[in-house]
């Protein structure tokens, strides 16, 4: 459950309440890799048709042109890059093959994540923590060479390692710090670097494991944290492995905990791997809820990358690979609804607020049972300022998907907000729909639509006054009590 109330301002401008980067993992370079860090190079299937893999190039073009995605994750094994020679220079033949994929990604205009898929290991030995055969120097050498290779490509993102696990996170963080220094000293001074924690990067364990604190303490050689993002993963199945078709959680509690940590420490993160089984109704609902939550917290989550496409078949359990139909690529329902649609719709949600609404802003206050809502500073009733704020907000909303809706609320205990009543209630000119206010109890666990767009339901004893300003609203309550305000039609049922 969220510990603080969420307040959204819908005054004159609508800021984009969605992640900056949206994308997909273009898999194949990781094929054969096991969680013990063994990655047989004979299993590598780089996702390029010219190399015998999937059509990663065509898929990336589709994702950019049809879905406006702007980030792709390009996993590769450490063994492949050095041709199974630990500590060696990058193998020129294998690097050229991988670079062909990176260049295909860069050609789309997207950001491209170079990602080592070894689980913080080389052939069963943890980097810097095992029997001494795999050292920090080996790891630093790898990243120094990759940074030198891509120092001039500012849209390349360096993901230090896929899903470390079962290690001492304090020692691991120090290893990551050495890699950061190597990358910056190689000339990649502004490239984004993703910092992975233990427990397979799990959002549910990032804070409790100590990973978040250890990684947030890392800096660049100049002492800044510029370009350093915490790397977060989370699946929806019972053991967070992404190997089961059944989804059991929408992960909003886990991501809420991470978001709270990020705000408290002033850091940011990217969700670089998540996924669910397409074709399952429960997974569809939960995955959409998760991704809507991540987009709603875009002040701390800068990107969302789902898994996976590339050399995966469309029949793969967690496939995000589009199918070829009528000469073009078509996304499955999970991708279309839960990745692309939640992102596009989130762009029409009013973004996070200033600290007060003393300028007459229109405020939506969403709370959980037991939360405290401070009464906003607002103009007195009858001054006309409320109507002025409505007009300004309506003008801002006119550019959003039409028809749109603005919900206004006066928290219980607040006074002087001047909410109009009866037939004098304002309306949004974009829909020209005269409306009247409705009073209900803010729902925390259940909600139903009363037929006119209002939401009522059981919840805390303290009511809020809701005023409907146009017709097309759907307000969805996620299971953790977060209110999602979406402009336009939301297909998901109220829960």
What positions carry a catalytic annotation? 163, 273
Q: Is 243 exposed, middle or buried (0-12, 13-18, 19+ CB in 10 A)?
A: exposed
Q: Dihedral of the CA atoms 105, 275, 215, 211 (nearest 10)?
A: -160
Give the separation between CA 93 and CA 110, rounded to whole angstroms: 25
Region of residue 416 (phi > 0: left; psi between -120 and 50: alpha; otherwise: beta): left
Give the separation between CA 68 and CA 55, rounded to whole angstroms: 18
Q: Please check whether residue 77 is in contact with residue 162, taking contact to mean a CB–CB distance below 8 angstroms.
A: no
């Amino acid at each position: 459950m969220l510990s603080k109330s969420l307040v959204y301002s819908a005054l004159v401008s609508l800021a984009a309440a969605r992640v900056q980067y949206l994308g997909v993992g273009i898999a194949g370079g990781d094929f054969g890799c096991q969680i013990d860090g063994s990655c047989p190079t004979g299993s590598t299937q780089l996702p390029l048709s010219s190399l015998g893999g999937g059509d990663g190039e065509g898929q990336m073009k589709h994702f950019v042109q049809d879905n406006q995605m702007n980030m792709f994750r390009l996993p590769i094994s450490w063994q492949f890059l050095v041709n199974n020679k630990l500590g060696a220079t990058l193998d020129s033949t294998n690097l050229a093959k991988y670079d062909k994929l990176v260049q295909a990604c860069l050609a789309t205009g997207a950001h491209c994540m170079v990602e080592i898929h070894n689980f913080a290991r080389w052939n069963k030995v943890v980097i810097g923590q095992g029997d001494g055969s795999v050292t920090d120097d080996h790891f630093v050498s790898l990243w120094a060479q990759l940074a030198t290779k891509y120092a001039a490509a500012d849209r390349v993102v360096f993901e230090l390692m896929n899903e470390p696990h079962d290690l001492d996170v304090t020692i691991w963080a120090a290893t990551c710090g050495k890699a950061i220094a190597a990358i910056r000293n190689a000339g990649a001074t502004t490239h984004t670097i993703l910092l992975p924690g233990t427990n397979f990067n799990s959002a549910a364990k990032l804070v409790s494991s100590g990973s978040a604190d250890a990684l947030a303490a890392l800096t660049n050689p100049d002492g800044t944290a510029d370009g350093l993002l915490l790397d977060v993963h989370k699946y929806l199945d019972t053991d967070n492995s992404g190997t089961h078709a059944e989804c059991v959680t929408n992960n909003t509690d886990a991501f809420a905990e991470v978001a709270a940590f990020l705000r408290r420490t002033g850091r940011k993160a990217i969700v670089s791997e998540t996924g669910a089984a397409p074709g399952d109704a429960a997974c569809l609902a939960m995955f959409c809820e998760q991704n809507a939550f991540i987009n709603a917290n875009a002040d701390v989550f800068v990107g969302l990358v789902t898994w996976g496409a590339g050399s995966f078949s469309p029949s793969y359990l967690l496939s995000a690979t589009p199918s070829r139909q009528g000469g073009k690529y078509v996304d499955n329902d999970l991708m279309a609804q839960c990745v692309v649609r939640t992102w596009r719709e989130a762009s029409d949600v009013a973004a996070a607020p200033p600290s007060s609404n003393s300028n007459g802003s229109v405020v939506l206050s969403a709370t959980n049972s037991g939360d405290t809502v401070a009464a906003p500073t607002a103009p007195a009733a009858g001054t006309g300022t409320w109507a002025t704020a409505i007009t300004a907000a309506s003008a801002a909303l006119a550019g959003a998907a039409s028809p749109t809706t603005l919900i206004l609320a006066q928290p219980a205990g607040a006074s002087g907000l001047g909410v109009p009543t009866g037939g004098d209630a304002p309306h949004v000119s974009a829909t020209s729909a005269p409306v009247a206010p409705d009073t209900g109890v803010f729902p925390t666990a259940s909600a139903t639509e009363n037929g006119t767009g209002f939401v009522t339901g059981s919840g805390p004893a303290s009511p809020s006054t809701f005023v409907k300003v146009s017709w097309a609203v759907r307000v969805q309550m996620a299971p953790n009590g977060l209110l999602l305000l979406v402009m336009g039609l939301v297909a998901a049922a109220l829960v």
